[in-house]
Amino acid sequence: MGFPKIRMRRLRSSDSMRRLVRQTALSVDDLVYPLFVREGKGLKAPIKTMTDCFHFSPDTIAAEAVEVASLRIPAVLLFGLPGKKDDIGSQAWAEDGVVQRSIKEIKKAAPQLLVITDVCLCEYTDHGHCGVIKACPERSRENGKIDNDPTCELLAKTALSHAQAGADIVAPSDMMDGRVGYIREALEENGFENVAIMSYAAKYASAFYGPFRDAAESAPAFGDRRSYQMDTPNSDQAMAEIALDIEEGADIVMVKPALAYLDIIHRAKQRFDCPLAAYNVSGEYMMVSCAADAGLLDKKATLLELLTAIKRAGADIVITYFAKEAAKLLLG
């Protein structure tokens, strides 16, 4: 049976009809808002490379968290910029570190707001890599490579320090092998069995991170991250990465970036029962912001379309710099 008995336009004939048959509903409940906190006092400094995004300090982050919570956004994702960096990133797990203090401030001001913390070393190391560097004799093939297992131990220490400060969810973004297992073990051993892990399971070496690297001041001083982050053309490896992270104890798995990787999100959702997050990254955000500023795109319509598309592909959770704007639109 086909045309004229079947007319697809019947179900698009009015707003009510379209609402009735709509399959995907983007909700404020799906959103996570990333926040950057740096050492300092009284800061709310615009990030040059990211429109409407700011660097906060631990004493100003609470007010922002209260605003986020008032928009009914369930969670923030915290990134820290320390006062000083070193070769192993020791400020990452410092008890009085910038993230650790900020977690406490947020929890005091907005206890219902979930605090997710990015767990990585790249903002804390003076070389900007996500792990510690192997120092080997000159001309060794291993020289200058990122040392996997010692890095995992430091990541576990970092995650534990976030849990001790009050984080609800820790989110390792480094792409070392086995780090979720190390973190799960450290949390279990120290009485934080209820702290969840959201792993950046399939994180690709992407050009779309450009604006973020200035926001987090974490560009590598040499080389790139291709020996640990995933290679764009690969899809099977993403499934293997996700499966391993779930096996090691991840509660939520993530695909990053989102828009150029909707096929990965879709495939992951078909295959795994675990809640799936997608990170709508800084480059994706700024493409829309810049095009809107240039008068080429309707920003509100575009951002809702993109976030809905990420959800339609299969994401349960969308991490986005548009979260506040989207929440205002969704709450009307």
Catalytic residues: 203, 256
Separation of alpha carbons 267 and 24, rounded Å: 17
Minimal distance in Å, beta carbon 81 to Zn ion?
13
Structure tokens at 310: 């990420």
Minimal distance in Å, beta carbon 175 to Zn ion?
8
Candidate ranges 37-45, 95-103, 130-138, 194-202; the one touching Zn ion (CB under 5 A): 130-138
Nearer to Zn ion, 128 or 314 (CB): 128
Minimal distance in Å, beta carbon 174 to Zn ion?
5
Backbone angles phi, psi at 101, to 5 degrees: -70, -35
User: Residue 53 is which amino acid?
Assistant: C
Contact present, 241 and 282 (Cβ < 8 Å): no
Candidate ranges 126-134, 150-158, 159-167, 254-262; the one touching Zn ion (CB under 5 A): 126-134
Calculated CA dihedral for residues 186, 192, 194, 197, nearest 10 degrees: -40
Q: What is the total count of residues that contact Zn ion (CB under 5 A)?
A: 3
Going by C-alpha positions, the residue among 150, 171, 154, 173 that lies closest to residue 93 is 154
Residues 63-122 binding Zn ion (CB under 5 A) are 120, 122
Separation of alpha carbons 100 and 165, rounded Å: 5
Minimal distance in Å, beta carbon 160 to Zn ion?
18
Residue 130 within binding range of Zn ion, rule CB under 5 A: yes
Binding mask 234-273 for Zn ion (x = CB under 5 A): ----------------------------------------
Separation of alpha carbons 51 and 286, rounded Å: 7
Contact present, 155 and 120 (Cβ < 8 Å): yes
Minimal distance in Å, beta carbon 216 to Zn ion?
8
Candidate ranges 41-49, 61-69, 124-132, 255-263; the one touching Zn ion (CB under 5 A): 124-132
Task: List residues bridging with 36 in a β-sheet.
Answer: 55, 79
**Strand ranges (DSSP E) for the chain?**
31-38, 44-46, 54-56, 75-81, 114-119, 169-172, 196-203, 252-256, 276-280, 317-320
Nearer to Zn ion, 256 or 311 (CB): 256
Residues at the site binding Zn ion, with contacts judged by CB under 5 A:
120, 122, 130
